[in-house]
């Protein structure tokens, strides 16, 4: 069992650490959607989104000062949010489960209370770990987004919908 996680608000040193030390698959997923592969540029863009975040947390083991992941939701339009998350190689399966459970139990209900009816996350189509994580966090696969990456990478859209929009599962 992984150590319990503490969840904290924005901290410049922690966010910068995460941008500079993220997992290789997270780098691939994020940077193929950007004009550059610069972690400092990513950090600056996240910082400039600060006011637009409806939810933002950094996860770190309670026994450590080093963060293992960050996750957030940004308002993308009326009633619509965009979710993002990335982590370091120190993220364990137990940590991922704690974060996914927190997203499902706390973040998504808070977003609904905030007036969102849809929260969307995009993931590289071949990033199967992320797909399992998103399903654990309560998201449903909505299908492919073709050639969203700068080199033609395909993405899978995952969504959380308010209960009245949830698909019927038989």
So where are the chain's domains? 5-165
CATH H-level, domain 5-165: superfamily: Gcn5-related N-acetyltransferase (GNAT) (3.40.630.30)
DSSP letter at 125? Answer: T
Residue-level pLDDT, tens digit, the chain, 170 residues? 678 999 999 999 999 999 999 999 999 999 999 999 999 999 999 999 888 899 999 999 999 999 999 999 999 999 999 999 999 999 999 999 999 999 999 999 999 999 999 999 999 999 999 999 999 999 999 999 999 999 999 999 999 998 766 655 53
pLDDT of residue 26: 98
Question: Cα(158)–Cα(53) distance, rounded to whole angstroms?
Answer: 19
pLDDT of residue 165: 66
pLDDT of residue 50: 82
DSSP letter at 163? Answer: G
The β-bridge relationship of strands 118-124 and 155-161 is: antiparallel
- Helix 12-20 to helix 39-48 angle (10° resolution) is 140
């Amino acid at each position: 069992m992984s150590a319990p996680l503490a969840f904290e608000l924005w901290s410049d040193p922690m966010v910068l650490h995460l941008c500079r030390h993220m997992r290789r698959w997270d780098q691939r997923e994020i940077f193929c959607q950007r004009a550059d592969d610069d972690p400092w540029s990513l950090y600056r863009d996240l910082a400039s989104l600060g006011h637009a975040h409806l939810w933002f947390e950094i996860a770190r083991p309670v026994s450590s000062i080093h963060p293992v992941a960050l996750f957030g939701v940004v308002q993308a339009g009326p009633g619509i949010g965009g979710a993002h998350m990335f982590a370091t190689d120190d993220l364990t399966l137990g940590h991922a489960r704690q974060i996914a459970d927190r997203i499902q139990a706390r973040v998504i209900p808070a977003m609904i209370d905030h007036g969102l009816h849809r929260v969307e996350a995009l993931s590289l189509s071949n990033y199967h770990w992320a797909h399992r994580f998103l399903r654990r966090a309560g998201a449903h696969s909505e299908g492919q987004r073709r050639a969203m990456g700068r080199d033609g990478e395909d993405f899978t859209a995952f969504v959380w919908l308010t209960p009245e929009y949830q698909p019927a599962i038989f």
